[in-house]
Structure 1
């Protein structure tokens, strides 16, 4: 198993695999309120069986080259993650995303981790376009997209129902030539 350092603060990026279901559930329990504010992950991972099923679905995506999921560990504790929710290598498109528990907010962990996976997707998998979608109220996620040098392409009005409310969703993206020109590689 590999681990990639995210800096001198002890942060690491590692694959988030099904055998980590208990750890993932405990992490989700710590961050459920913050994580669930804008994304369905907190609702999807409610118990050990659903935690295993969620991670298994991403193991299947990795096996078919259609998605990936990685955890962010800080001092040995799982505190968040980044993923490719979708990945279409043949077409050169991927959608990245993130989540973080409250104890890890404000450290730049998601930005650093997203840089690693985007660089991998562009340089090793040949992905041409990486999208980032965020509810318009999710200012933290939008700030990550900006720090990654992404361009805001538009808003899908009331396109995302979540917990009884329809949210507008901003679409941000970066193209491989832009990524390389900006020197975003880690």
Structure 2
């Protein structure tokens, strides 16, 4: 089990099968907002789809291929954050995230990402963390920018979202850069 207490109100933990109903409910309530930026929303039609997602995430974690966590604010699931994949050969972790619209603007995701990045460099001993976001997704792009990531480039038409392509902006943070900016 993975558990990371961010502060007195925010906790990250790996999703359990018992979270499927709550995850589906949150996804369903956030569907219109999430659909603008995430390609999997239309494929999440019922609790069984959320359960299958959690089972896939748990298998990826067991195989050290990824780490998907629920973000719990005051004990309530409000979103997810993940190392969608790890490149262990090159020691890179690829972070993705989403937060329910009614929970945004409180600094939750910035705190969550800061803690996960710290974990990446000091526990997992990764060399780099990569965050990619759609060019027009200003809220998602604000997280790596706020955390001091370097904008490394832009990939044209990187992702198909239902009826159109979106460009991705790539942000990177190296372990030595994080360490210099966040010395203990």
Shorter-normalised TM range: over 0.9
Distance 1:119 1:44, change over 3 A: farther
Aligned mates of 2:150, 2:49 — CA distance in 1: 35
Higher mean alpha-carbon deviation, 114-123 vs 11-20, is at 11-20
TM-score if structure 1 supplies the norm length?
Answer: 0.92
1:5 equivalent in structure 2 = 5
1:117 equivalent in structure 2 = 116
Aligned mates of 1:168, 1:115 — CA distance in 2: 25
Aligned mates of 1:18, 1:77 — CA distance in 2: 16
**Runs of 4+ deviating beyond 4 Å:** none
TM-score if structure 2 supplies the norm length?
Answer: 0.93
Aligned mates of 2:106, 2:183 — CA distance in 1: 18
Q: How far does residue 11 in structure 1 lie from its aligned partner after superposition?
A: 2.3
RMSD of equivalent CA atoms? 1.6
Higher mean alpha-carbon deviation, 125-134 vs 14-23, is at 14-23
Q: How far does residue 86 in structure 1 lie from its aligned partner after superposition?
A: 0.7
Q: Contact (CA 8 Å) 1:18, 1:59: kept in 2 or not? A: no
Q: Contact (CA 8 Å) 1:61, 1:68: kept in 2 or not? A: yes
Structure 1: state its 5+ residue gaps: none
Q: What is the number of residues matched between the two proteins? A: 184
Aligned mates of 1:13, 1:184 — CA distance in 2: 23
1:57 equivalent in structure 2 = 56
Aligned mates of 2:113, 2:44 — CA distance in 1: 22
Q: Secondary structure at the match of 1:59?
A: helix
Q: How far does residue 83 in structure 1 lie from its aligned partner after superposition?
A: 0.4
1:43 equivalent in structure 2 = 42
